[in-house]
Structure 1
């Protein structure tokens, strides 16, 4: 939720909408802590959080994939180029992330909670090969994205210096596809050696662990590569891509809802295929969204506002704002109208504080980054 449009100087309303939808679904999902939802509403909230984060990961991969590929096409792709890319990425992500970690650490110390594993978070290794600790649990998607990019860049440097005369396109594809295959094999190994039958445990042990999830961001990167090379074809066939995405998404729903694939009878589906297929389905929607025109200036401004504050919302909304509200306000005896007021207040506070964080912290740092860390991607 923190990647700006870098395909060109133009903003794409459809991709902005996808980012706004992603953070909105995440907020809706975490409202389950307010309503203690069960039944259909609870399942909708679980599904919305699941889909919202996947949208975030794949969209980031698509946007960054084009930048990575264009930079790698330089005649002399060096360690300096790779370092500059990583520096820009980390400067974009880490300052606000570190601020959130600092705030949550102070809150945990004040309220007597353990901070023994906080040291992992600044290094982005809190969920590298094991489930994320209870501290700042929603941050799991950041290491998935950033570690994915770092692995790609390191391997590109190694290959470009080892095979100087090799095709840049082949090297780029080899790295991306190779890492996707590695992730597939990791999940296959997990499936063969795990007896887990609980979907919540699956979410912690597979869905939220870097070594099992970098394929999702890399599927987005791969789609960004194809967009750079076959843009005219993809845009001319955007409705066909859209139809393929709808069919693939419908197939996943059929497997889960109608055919009732569960960890007990189809662990291979959940552990190996479900998440990559969802990532691929999301990618299929992107060409259509790139051509989606803004309905009105007012709607466009609203979507842009949500996009601008989305990263701050992501960092603040759950482990800071909702945690504090639930800590100081006992909602267990609330009736529906009281919970609705609580939810409205929660969203309002989240939007206001996220706007302030974006305006006075995130935005100035991004402006410094754009001015001082210029990436040559022409």
Structure 2
């Protein structure tokens, strides 16, 4: 399985993954030095990296299974099956465990609701403390459900060309979220940027669409991308710096609307650099592959089941102790994530491969 993986993309995912782990642990050390909170932007950056990579990989799947081969509703079912067998069993298990941990810690289930079972907890606003990282999963799950269903509708019912439908829907999702962010900004002026815009499904459902367009350009304009990889990388870095400055200095409609477009485009322009990494002599590449394999499971457990409980139970007295506590949290998150992968995700993936619809 490892031999079939692309090291550059796994490295991209691993970098994003470590940035998330570090960012979410800042609440431990910022008590001793508030300046640590200034590095919170790297968590936002990391999540945009996940969105871009996920979109690119899904785009490749679409080209292989939907566009370049015979297409039917069975292909849509197969796509959703592959996605849901990987994500849903572990997600629902962690929801159940989180309910138990929450009750043991607080004597209640915090603000859990049935919305968490249907990924609608952040449809309008992500203002909840139960399973706080689940908002990213909700955004992606709704995109991965709606995009193939709309694709099937246009291709099968309206007889659209498959490639044109792919491009149209990718652009449609981008325009939809952009326009909706403008609408939401003027209709709900007191809505918080983080919970009401960055973490809301309808304002961020376009996040993965940029990766889809990248997969299109990489397939049909590959020579251009190869020739201009370094230029694209530098432009992407410049765009990210601009986004960081906007986040720090600009508190207007730009931050609530076009900021997200610029961030998506910038991250997408950086990604091609990782397509062509020469890694044949790297000794640690298998470690990166393994981290990439279990990253989803670690993401599920790290904040809800490790960071928050440990932060409540262990009150560090010094900055040095707080840093040591962070490393303990990283280690425990890795161990729990690995166990979740071995005991749940990996068996479910094997079972998934035995179920065929096409």
- TM-score over 0.5 (shorter chain): yes
- The one-character-per-residue Cα deviations of 1:81-116 (angstroms, maximum 9, x if unpaired) are 111111111111111111110100111233312356
Q: CA deviation at 1:49?
A: 1.3
1:129 matches 2:114: no
Aligned partners of 2:110 and 2:129 also within 8 Å: no
1:99 matches 2:93: yes
1:50 matches 2:59: no
Paired with 1:130 and 1:178, the residues of 2 have a C-alpha distance of: 22
TM-score by length of 1: 0.87
- The one-character-per-residue Cα deviations of 1:256-291 (angstroms, maximum 9, x if unpaired) are 55xx212xxxx2211111112111111111221100
Q: Which of the residues 77, 82, 93 maps onto 1:88?
A: 82
| 5+ residue gaps, structure 1 | none
1:148 matches 2:143: yes
Q: Which of the residues 5, 14, 17 maps onto 1:20?
A: 14
How many residues of Structure 1 are paired with residues of Structure 2 in the alignment?
356
Q: Which of the residues 340, 343, 362 maps onto 2:345?
A: 362
Farther-moved stretch of structure 1 (137-146 vs 35-44) = 35-44
Over aligned residues, Cα RMSD in angstroms? Answer: 2.2
Paired with 1:312 and 1:167, the residues of 2 have a C-alpha distance of: 38
- The one-character-per-residue Cα deviations of 1:276-335 (angstroms, maximum 9, x if unpaired) are 21111111112211001227443212212221221111011111112221233233xx11
- 2:23 is paired with a residue whose SS is helix
Moved over 6 A (4+): none
Paired with 1:196 and 1:116, the residues of 2 have a C-alpha distance of: 22
Q: Which of the residues 304, 323, 332 maps onto 2:308?
A: 323
Aligned partners of 1:128 and 1:211 also within 8 Å: yes
**Quick one: structure 1 residues 88 and 136, their matched pair in 2 at CA, closer, same or farther if it must change by over 3 Å?**
same
**Quick one: structure 1 residues 105 and 129, their matched pair in 2 at CA, closer, same or farther if it must change by over 3 Å?**
same
Paired with 2:353 and 2:196, the residues of 1 have a C-alpha distance of: 37
- The 5 A counterparts of 1:1-378 are 10-37=4-31, 38-44=33-39, 46-73=40-67, 76-111=70-105, 112-114=107-109, 117-164=112-159, 166-196=160-190, 201-256=192-247, 260-262=249-251, 267-294=252-279, 296-331=281-316, 334-373=317-356
Aligned partners of 2:124 and 2:202 also within 8 Å: yes
Aligned partners of 1:190 and 1:271 also within 8 Å: no
Q: CA deviation at 1:125?
A: 1.3
TM-score by length of 2: 0.92
Aligned partners of 1:144 and 1:217 also within 8 Å: no
Q: CA deviation at 1:42?
A: 1.4
Aligned partners of 2:298 and 2:337 also within 8 Å: yes
Paired with 1:109 and 1:208, the residues of 2 have a C-alpha distance of: 25
